[in-house]
Amino acid sequence: AARVWYLFVLATDNGTPQRQSFCSLRINLLDLNDNPPGNINQIN
């Protein structure tokens, strides 16, 4: 199952003239490996 998140950032300063910048970020999380996690080296 894929999940998607969106992050929106707006930065503004207090200068004269006031300046601002906007950025958007899309994050995709995909489940590509259906195998459970395992140990490479087992300790007895």
> Is residue 9 in a domain?
yes
> Is residue 7 in a domain?
yes
SS3 (DSSP) at 20: strand
pLDDT in tens, the chain (44 residues): 678 999 999 999 999 999 999 999 999 988 777 777 777 776 66
> Is residue 3 in a domain?
yes
| Alpha carbon 32 to its chain's center | 17
> Is residue 10 in a domain?
yes
DSSP calls for 7-44: EEEEEE--SSS--EEEEEEEEEE-----SPP--SS---
Counting the structural domains of the chain, the total is: 1
Structural contact between residues 16 and 7, judged by C-beta atoms closer than 8 angstroms: no
Question: Domain residues for 15?
Answer: 1-32
- Give the Cα separation of 13 and 19 in Å (integer): 6
> Is residue 43 in a domain?
no
Per-residue pLDDT, 1: 62
> Is residue 41 in a domain?
no
pTM of this structure: 0.53
